[in-house]
Amino acid sequence: MKHSIKVSGNQAMIFLKDKIYVSDASLLRDDILLIIDQGITDLKMDLSGLTYIDSSGLGTLVTINKRTKEKSGRLVLTGAQGLPMDLIKRTRLDKVFNIE
Amino acid sequence: MKITLARKMVAYFLLVILVAVAGFAYTIYMSNKAQVSVENLKGYENPRLEKINDIAYNALGESYNIKAYLLYGTDQYLAEYRRLAEANAKLEDELVKEARTEEARVLAVNIKALNDQYSKGDEDKLIPLWQQGNKDAAMDVATKELAPLATQLIAKVNETKTSQKNEINQAMNDTDNVTKLAKEVAIISAVLAAMLGIIIGLYAAQKITAPIKALQKLMAQASKGNLLVKAAVQTQDEIGQLCESFNTMIASQLEIVKAVKNSSEELTAASQAMAASSTEVSAATTVISTKTQSVALSMEEASNSSMETSQVLIELSALIQIAKDKAVSAGLKSESSINAATEGKATVNVVMQSMNTIYNKTREAEKVITLLSEYSQQIGMINETITGIAKQTNLLALNAAIEAARAGESGRGFAVVAEEVRKLAEQSNAEASNISQLIFKITENTDSAVVAMKHSLAEVEVGVEEVNKAGKSLENILSAVAETVNDIDGIAKVTDDEVASSDKIVQLIEVVAEDIEGTSREALDVSAAIEETSAIIETVAASAEQASAMAQNLHDLISRFNVEE
């Protein structure tokens, strides 16, 4: 597991680390969509430990972002740097995501 | 060579200057002459007179000193005499050398000859005689030879002096005359030059201004708008050239005014057309500006849409990749399913075989049980026989006991045997009864067993049917799983397409975003350029209106010129 989730009330802190490939993105998607369905929609994702992500990971982040907004929640990305941040900028998702 | 006005003027002035210069040159020549004369007096004639005076004075001194020497015999007088004699010899040499006239030179040579002679008489005769003590001879030489020489010398010096004074007087008179003449010549030259200057000036002014005045009149006419005037060219000088230039200028102005008149009319028309065109262009530009702004807005919307599209694309890409991942995983699981189903099929086959075996064995068991039932019936019949035998045996034993009892003591043993036989008969009967019950039970159970067997057979048949069904189901599962594996392979192959790959999708999104952003920027640039153009066109329109007004103004101005003959 490249991700860990700490839930507190309707908030959740998600930590991504190392390299996120398709299979990791799939697991992340399933886990996060599950907690969103449970009503936990205020999400904060710490990307400081993340060194690689591809379009499957980014697409998963987009899905999570959309899903939280549909449920009047929000997704905040923190600590993005290096290649992940570069990829976010190249795909102009920096204009879509709430990045701190 | 053209005779220009400047040359004419220069010639006039040269004439005046020539007269003045001639007069002044003569005056200067005279002045120079007077100056030379004065310098001659100052530097030559007067010093020469002084030298002559010195010689006279020295000669007198010589005479006195030699006399004093003779009188007092003191060497001091002799030394003074010799110094003066030497000084005179030097002065006389200078006098001879500096002499400018033959007369003066002869006089100087005479003085020198007399003085030399006097000195020689003193040195060669008088002084040696005197020093030898021959005073009479010495006095004789002094009175007879030297005294007349001294008189001659003084007379010659006086003659020379007079001659020199005359020279000086003559030179002074000459200087005076020259000076006076120079003064008169200077005054006459000045007056002449002034008069000539006035006359020439008046003549030249008349000569120059007359055509200029004529030209001025023509210019006045021209300035009032009459461009049909023409100056008469009478000379080749600047005035003539001025007239020619005036004619050329007026001709040019005539052409220009005609051209300007035509041009102003054309300009009026053109500027009106331009104003109309610029109004149209301005309207068109406004339309273009509106459209461009609309394009810019559309591009902004497109940018937002592209953001949405990007999100959808990347999400889709993620889903496709995840689907592929899951498909691969499902493929692996399906392989396991196929294996399990294959194993299941094998198991079903084994079960089928077992069921068939059970069926056969049950059939066999049924036959055996039927046989057992028959055997039980046979045993029942045998048991009835045994029961009959036992009853007869009991009767027999009873009879025997009776008989034994009759026999008394001797029959006691027999009675025991009879008793034992009776017991055995009873026992046989009891056992037969038990057997009968057992047979009944066996028969009962066998019947039940037969029924059960028949049930079992029916159940086995049902089981076989079900197992067959299960086998068929497994076969169906196998083929279905095989199809699923194919489908999954298909999915995996479809999702293998590079379009869905991470790099491609990122590149695609980036390129589209860059294109849209670039187009948006360009649309904004175009919009700005159009606004600039619009502003420029407004300026052009204003300029056209100004040009129109200017053309009208020009036309009004031109109309005051008389250009038609």
Domains of chain A: 3-99 (3.30.750.24)
Output the pTM of the full model: 0.43
Is the pLDDT reported for residue B74 higher than 60?
Answer: yes
CB of B530 closer than 8 Å to CB of B282? no
State pLDDT tens for residues B323-370: 888 888 888 888 887 888 788 888 888 888 888 888 888 888 888 888
Q: Which residues on chain A are in Cβ contact (under 8 Å) with B310?
A: 91-93
Give the number of other CB atoms < 10 A from CB of residue B475: 14
State pLDDT tens for residues B99-115: 888 888 898 899 889 88
The structure tokens listed for B284 are 């068109």
R_g of chain A, CA atoms, integer Å: 12
State pLDDT tens for residues B181-210: 888 888 888 898 889 889 988 888 887 788
Q: Which long-range contacts link B207-213 to residues 24+ away (Cβ below 8 Å)?
A: B207/B8, B208/B5, B208/B239, B211/B235, B211/B239, B211/B240, B211/B242, B211/B243, B212/B239, B212/B242
Is B314–A96 a contact, with Cβ atoms under 8 angstroms apart?
no
Is the pLDDT reported for residue B499 higher than 70?
Answer: no
CATH number of B251-547: 1.10.287
- Cα separations in angstroms, B524 against B81, B232, B529: 129, 70, 8
Question: Per-residue b/e over B172-209, b at no fewer than 16 CB within 10 Å?
Answer: eeebeebbebbeebbeebeeebeebbeebeeebeebbe
Q: Give the per-residue pLDDT at B497.
A: 61
Instruction: Tell me the pLDDT band of B83, cut-offs 50, 70 and 90.
Output: very high
Is A87–B506 a contact, with Cβ atoms under 8 angstroms apart?
yes
A19: closest CA of chain B, how far (Å): 14
Q: What are the sequence ranges of the domains in chain B?
A: 5-216, 251-547
Q: Give the per-residue pLDDT at B2.
A: 61
| CA neighbours closer than 13 Å in the CB half-sphere of residue B74 | 7
Is the pLDDT reported for residue B500 higher than 70?
Answer: no
| 3-class DSSP assignment, residue A49 | strand
Instruction: Tell me the pLDDT band of B395, cut-offs 50, 70 and 90.
Output: confident
Interval B212-235 mean pLDDT = 85
Mean pLDDT of chain B: 83
CB of B283 closer than 8 Å to CB of B262? no
Is the pLDDT reported for residue B523 higher than 70?
Answer: yes
Report the percentage of chain B scoring pLDDT > 90. Answer: 1
Tell me the ipTM for this assembly. Answer: 0.86
3-class DSSP string for B353-365: HHHHHHHHHHHHH
Interface of A with B in 1-60 (CB under 8 A): 22-23, 25-26, 29, 54-60
Q: Which residue of B has its CA nearest to A59?
A: B315
State pLDDT tens for residues B257-284: 888 888 778 877 887 787 788 778 778 8
Inter-chain contacts counted by CB atoms under 8 A, chains A and B? 73
- Cα–Cα nearest to B505, from A5, A42, A57: A57
Please check whether residue A66 touches B, CB under 8 A: yes
Please check whether residue B315 touches A, CB under 8 A: yes
Q: What is the DSSP string of B156-189?
A: HHHHHHHHHHHHHHHHHHHHHHHHHHHHHHHHHH
Nearest to A90 among B306, B322, B506 (CB): B506
Please check whether residue B309 touches A, CB under 8 A: no
Nearest to A62 among B314, B501, B510 (CB): B314
Report the percentage of chain B scoring pLDDT > 70. Answer: 98
* List of chain A residues with pLDDT < 50: none
Is the pLDDT reported for residue B468 higher than 60?
Answer: yes
- The most distant pair of C-alpha atoms in chain B lies apart, rounded to whole Å, by 280
One-letter identity of residue B385: T
Is B318–A95 a contact, with Cβ atoms under 8 angstroms apart?
no
Please check whether residue B318 touches A, CB under 8 A: yes
Is B322–A90 a contact, with Cβ atoms under 8 angstroms apart?
no
Is A60–B324 a contact, with Cβ atoms under 8 angstroms apart?
no
- Nearby residues of B177 by Cβ (< 8 Å), 6 or more positions away: none
- Cα–Cα nearest to B520, from B307, B297, B305, B309: B297
Q: Which residues on chain B are in Cβ contact (under 8 Å) with A69?
A: none
| 3-class DSSP assignment, residue A77 | strand
Is A93–B324 a contact, with Cβ atoms under 8 angstroms apart?
no
State pLDDT tens for residues B402-443: 888 888 888 888 888 888 888 888 888 888 888 888 888 887
